[in-house]
Amino acid sequence: MARQQAIFWGLSSVLLGILLWRMPINGWGSLVWLSGLMLLHIIRTPHNTVASNTASEETYHAASERWLLLLVGLGMQAVPAVHLSTGLFWFANRAQFTVLLAIGFVCLAVGLWLFWRSHVDLGRNWSVTLELREDHQLITQGVYARIRHPMYTAIILICGAQAVLISNWIAGPVGLLSFALMCIIRLPREERMMEERFGERYLEYKKRSGRLLPWSFRGYRG
């Protein structure tokens, strides 16, 4: 864990220097994107530590989960970092609009808050892959009271922010596309896992909550 932390912060520091140098090309949205990525890491780090020290009772779809996480990592981190550092996808650059950058900043701020709050409310029940912990609890309070998967909603907001903060038609939306694929594959699996574990309690919870948005948005109930 310590080695991974050192690698992340070392690469982030190098990337920050490059982005400052290339700011006239990439625009200030690239710096906001990197700041969001670093805050995302800061938020998740203590919960990763707790997760690594919490016994797992059962793991689901381990092989495909690794591929999905790799795909999202490429979309949210590697591809935009390479483009912003080298101009790899220069041919797909687009104009930078202040209004879009402001929207991206707001989406990032809301997404990061919801990301933090979701981790706090889940506590030791959180894991990065599909797992059930020993004495796993069904959390239905806090931000989970009306949304079953607020952490996914948070990441969608963060990926949406990436799409408008990075002024490139490839490096911007790629995070949103990769995470959308993960949601399509993983969300039904996760809900089946919870139904098998908690039965009627989870079915009742589904009736009073939405999948990604509050229950009042009936079209997104899931």
Q: pLDDT tens track of the chain, all 222 residues?
A: 778 888 999 999 999 999 999 999 999 999 999 999 999 999 999 999 998 888 888 899 889 999 999 999 999 999 999 999 999 999 999 999 999 999 999 999 999 999 999 999 999 999 999 999 888 999 999 999 999 999 999 999 999 999 999 999 999 999 999 999 999 999 999 999 999 999 999 999 999 999 999 865 444 445
Q: How many domains does the chain have?
A: 1
What is the extent of the structural domain holding 167? 2-220
pTM: predicted TM-score of the whole model, two decimal places? 0.94
Q: For residues 138 and 136, what is the distance between their CA atoms, to the nearest angstrom?
A: 7
- In sequence order, the 6+-apart residues with CB closer than 8 A to the CB of 1 are 48, 49, 52
CATH number of the domain residue 173 falls in: 1.20.120.1630
Give residue 103's Cα distance to chain centre.
Answer: 18
* β-sheet bridge partners, residue 59: 131
Question: Which among 10, 65, 67 has a CA at the least distance from the CA of 41?
Answer: 10
